[in-house]
Amino acid sequence: MTNFFFGPQQAQQLIDTMRVIHGNLFTHQMGNVSPEQVETIITGAMVGVSEAQFHFGLAQLSTQAYCPSIAQFRALCVSGSWWSVDEAWARACEYTKDRNKNKITTLAKYALEQVEHLITMGQMREAQSQFKGVYNANLLKAQVSGKSQEFYKAPLQIGTKQIAEEKTSAQKAGLNDEQKLILVMADRLRQQGMSPKEAFVQAQIAIRGEVKKANKFEHAEHDLEMKADSDYWPDPFDDFEKYKAALQAEQKPLPNAVRFIELEQAGGGV
């Protein structure tokens, strides 16, 4: 690597620090490996660790009651910049309440996307369990590769992408079309400040018309002005010709129930 920070000088600094802090424990751990080999092993193991991460790891050595292996020291270096799984879950929950105000890391957001359909349906325990599994697995990969934690930055135009992400989340859950619509609408409502449970209830009402009427429409039917049929159609007994003309205008046949009126007017009787 052309810009690799860690070299023989840093390797010797680590060796000296571990000898001072842990004494014979470090010597015993290295066994019969020569100093040159120890330096080579450390340099190779620290590939990808930044200068800031290395100094963080050195600072943490004094708090360790045992002498860490080289692999454990490397994990110690890169762990400081990452949220723990519990912190990531807590931050993810806060993020769902206000996605514009609250920050989230790219890793935590990825884990959240995998379980959002469960959160929308109110299955918080299962969502938390699956979130932690996804987060831990990807955290380990990121730490081993020496990556640093990054915060998620939303693109300037996210409408189409966000809908696509929501649909992908629904498809992963094996939902039918109706459930997918409920999921998408509930997520929109949650982004507007509604609690996950209330968002899910309101989405069901909007899509299925079940549970109860949405607050916005619950009094709508009482506000409807009910009119008599004669306000929409002429009364055949009051003005048969006008009634008949209205039917012809809409290309509808004359009902048998009033056909006798036409017969009477033609002089044919009932």
Q: What is the pLDDT of residue 258?
A: 54
Strand partners, 105: 151
Q: What are phi and psi of 67, to 5 degrees?
A: -90, 115
- At 32-89, the pLDDT tens digits run 788 888 888 888 888 878 888 888 888 888 777 788 888 888 877 877 667 888 989 9
pLDDT band for position 259 (50/70/90)? Answer: low
Strand partners, 151: 105
Domain boundaries, the chain: 8-79, 83-224, 229-266
Tokens of 64: 């360790």
Report the pLDDT averaged over residues 199-217: 61
pLDDT band for position 236 (50/70/90)? Answer: low
pLDDT band for position 213 (50/70/90)? Answer: very low
- At 116-140, the pLDDT tens digits run 999 888 889 999 999 999 998 888 7
Tokens of 72: 């454990």
